[in-house]
């Protein structure tokens, strides 16, 4: 029992309570930032959907899918950023030195960036293709010399089915020409 009492006597309760308070404040502010972000992106999504001047229900459905995809991408990216910042602040508050973590993350980020250049290029190109509504599912298009019906458009790839039924998948970053047939 004297051992436990001796241990409790060595604790600086004022420092512990201040650290715990700051730690909880970081968590609460992170939660508030996530909730605020969710509300803001919900309003942006509603505004974008209200602005769509769709003449048919199919166009409205495609516009809704495009807006939903963009908002989901923004929500995921910003949630990751907020989560990482909260984690680093919390680690620093409990006394861990985050400098090596930041340096390691920078080196890993650089290595991954060099290795994932094509993936990043595909995703960015896909983001702008979806945002600018350049091509839609169901359009007949010529992509890099291949003619077919657009079956799917994603952030990374576009999928065509040609007249013989062959499915062609093109990474968005490699698309050099994309012509649409209009009826």
Rg of the chain (C-alpha set): 25
- Render pLDDT for 65-115 as a digit per residue (tens, 0 to 9): 778 878 888 888 899 999 999 999 988 888 888 889 889 888 988 888 888
**What pLDDT is attached to residue 32?**
95
Model pLDDT for residues 17-43, shown as the tens digit of each residue = 888 888 899 999 999 999 999 999 999
Q: Does residue 51 have a pLDDT over 90?
A: no
Determine the pLDDT at residue 28.
Answer: 94
Between 66-70, 71-75, 146-150, 167-171, the lowest mean confidence (pLDDT) is in 66-70
Tell me how crowded residue 58 is: count the other CB atoms within 10 A of its CB: 12
Is the whole-model pTM more than 0.85?
no
Residue 53 has pLDDT above 80, yes or no: no
128-152 b/e (C-beta count within 10 Å ≥ 16 → b): ebbeeeebbeebebebeeeebebee
Cα gap 65→57, rounded to integer Å: 12
| % pLDDT > 70, the chain | 93
Average pLDDT for 128-151: 85
Q: What is the mean pLDDT of the chain?
A: 84
């Amino acid at each position: 029992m004297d051992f436990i009492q001796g241990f409790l006597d060595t604790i600086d309760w004022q420092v512990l309570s201040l650290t715990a308070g700051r730690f909880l404040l970081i968590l609460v502010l992170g939660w508030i930032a996530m909730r605020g972000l969710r509300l803001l992106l919900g309003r942006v999504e509603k505004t974008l959907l209200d602005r769509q001047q769709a003449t048919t229900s199919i166009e409205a459905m495609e516009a809704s899918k495009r807006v939903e995809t963009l908002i989901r991408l923004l929500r995921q990216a910003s949630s990751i950023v907020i989560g990482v910042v909260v984690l680093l602040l919390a680690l620093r508050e409990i006394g861990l030195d985050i400098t090596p973590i930041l340096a390691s993350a920078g080196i890993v980020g650089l290595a991954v960036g060099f290795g994932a250049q094509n993936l990043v290029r595909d995703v960015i190109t896909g983001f702008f293709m979806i945002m600018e509504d350049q091509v839609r599912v169901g359009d007949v298009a010529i992509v890099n010399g291949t003619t077919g019906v657009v079956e799917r458009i994603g952030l990374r790839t576009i999928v065509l089915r040609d007249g013989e039924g062959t499915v062609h998948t093109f990474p968005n970053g490699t698309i050099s020409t994309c012509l649409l047939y209009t009826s």
